[in-house]
Structure 1
Amino acid sequence: MSRVSRAAARSLATLVAAGVGATLFTAAAPAQAASTAGGTITRSEVLARAQSWVNEGVPYNQQGYKTDANGTYREDCSGYVSMAWHLTDSLTTQTLPNVSTTISFSQLKAGDALDYTADHTFLFAGWTNQSTGDFTYYAESNKYDPTHGPTKANINSSSLEGWPTGNYTALRYNNIVDDAPPVTIRPSAVGVFRDGTWALRSGSGATTSAGFGQPGDVPITGDWDGVGHDQLGVFRPSTTTFALRHDDGSSDSLVFGNPGDIPVPGMWDHNGHAQMAVYRPSTNAFIVRHDNGSTDSVVFGNPGDIPIVGDWDGVGHTQMGVFRPAANGSQNTFALRHDDGTVSTAIYGNQGDLPIVGDWAGKGRTTFGVYRPSTATFALNNAYAGTPDSVITYGNPGDTPVTGNWS
């Protein structure tokens, strides 16, 4: 079986057909390592370090030194660039080229430097209008107020910081890297599954259909291949088989779980692709299968609960929860478990509703909703409130609801 990628942490529908549902849950995300002195640093980190001296009002002083977690730096122009690049020591205008690559002025990006080896250097902060040559920069200079923030200038001017522009060379620190592009979050959309046919609705209301699975299958969705959108899949209870459909139309399968289990694939290991998992109603246990074939289990909920999971806190990985259907005069209850072990609850929907989850607003965190089989109505909630933010009628009574970020 090919590897399965990030599951729909914010979008997998909880499906309850003949007592069967589907949801997600995950392990905590690994901590991100801080930049190491002299090692790789992003452009935004360079500018943040430059701004830190502005915030502290560090004066220009060739005889002065300032120490931080990365090293000790002279309070002059080249010491300032060395600090911003988090070098292990202060270099000079003559030695900064030793850790840099020469580039053209037109190639300058935020965090690069302009260096006049005989006398001065400063940090390029970014273009404000590259077509006209306008940019901003940071400098530790004895000619100007050393506590100012980014200063405006023009690359086509005759002088910069008091020296002829033609005397400067553009430098790019050898260990600087571009920041990762911002992640575009696709809002979750709704759809229905009907005996092997998927009818999917986009956020704009456009619809599409696909055939995958067979009568009796439980639909699941997830980003199996790390392509940035959800893909279709089914769980076959009769054989406890997960079948996953890829964008090219091919599919893979994996047998996992016991009869009576509920499929709960998710990005449990937070490693860029999903792992298969099941929820066992007899023991209220989430059982996760890791890439190496090992398994872990977590018990959460009460008998009769339906598992639901999503990124309740916007932390970048899925968290577990359960839906407790209304019975004997009670109300539907969503119980959401957070990373610190606390549980928050919310009352929502009517008796007979089925739970669904998704990031309906595309804000990076999961909220809930319900599907009303009698009227084929989705009632979506963006703020964990008691009233829906959006009501959509789609499909036919008796369809199985699905959600995903395919739009």
Structure 2
Amino acid sequence: MRTTAASVLAAVLVLCGLLQPIPRLANAEPDLQSAGHPAADLKLTREDILTRAKSWIDERVPYSQDAKHTNQYGTYRQDCSGYVSMAWGLKTARWTGDIMQVATRIDKKNLLPGDSLWVHSSAHQHMALFIRWADAAKTQAVVWEEYRSGTVASQRTWSAERTAGFTAIRYRNVVEGDAKTCAAVSLDHPRYPELAPAATGDLVKAAQCLLTGAGFPTGANGPTGTFDATTAEAAKQFQASVGLPSLGKVDSHTWTALLARGTTPQVQDGASGDAVLRLQRALNAALDAGLEHDGRFGPNTTAAVKRYQSAQGLTSDGIVGAKTWAALQAGK
């Protein structure tokens, strides 16, 4: 009877999302690259996080550890951690066992909307988005969550006892402040086609943010996604600053120079980090290389570097040093 009772309890916990099969979720496959799915973990304001999270509540997405839901924000697993991963704009859906790779612990008294309440132990595994406190004493949390089988994404108020059993965590890429910033604009795109005045869309936002970051503002209202006269003038000024023709449009040379901006450490096979990510973007702009924007310098990146170096008359060794960076940052 004890064995039977334990089995029943375990089954209930799995259904509730409180006990997840560790081997299956620990190696969760990357999510489908659907329209709108991030190519890299996004930097989001709290407003952005809540807007994304509310989409599943409005769509009444049912809980499931196996199914995935797709909307304008991408494709994610329909359980508690998949829901938080979607709200936080993660490239790959995390689970309770590895969510701390993108989050940090905070004091519960410092919880803000869009943070998370999380627990991961052998008996209890769950997480939810914190929305607000239900009481002045800050003991009862109001959360948005995917809870268990038979329910849909919804708002719930936790008891003080339940709230006490969770740890407060914060997404490392959350950006505090006005949503009219470049914080939530992705610079990662499969291709970087030419942009001319009157163009619109996410690529225009990316170009506007890159131009602003280079010291050539494109307007007081942040990235509008419309290639207007101010953006054209900013492009001309940037082009002149790096020795490119002042065309007033963003061509492959301008994209390459903008995307390569930043520090110029020597990087080669085995390297990783922001410099490699900038390199991959710039090579995709310069060569249409088709590199994944993962910040990891592997065989494909090495091959693209050699191809670029050869085209520029540089030593084709696959090592990105001062000369290769200089060529990229000049838009060659």
Q: What is the TM-score with the length of structure 2 in the denominator?
A: 0.40
Bigger relative contact order, structure 1 or 2, given CA contacts below 8 A and separation 6+? 1
Q: Which has the higher helix share?
A: 2
Q: Which has the larger radius of gyration?
A: 1
Q: What is the TM-score with the length of structure 1 in the denominator?
A: 0.33
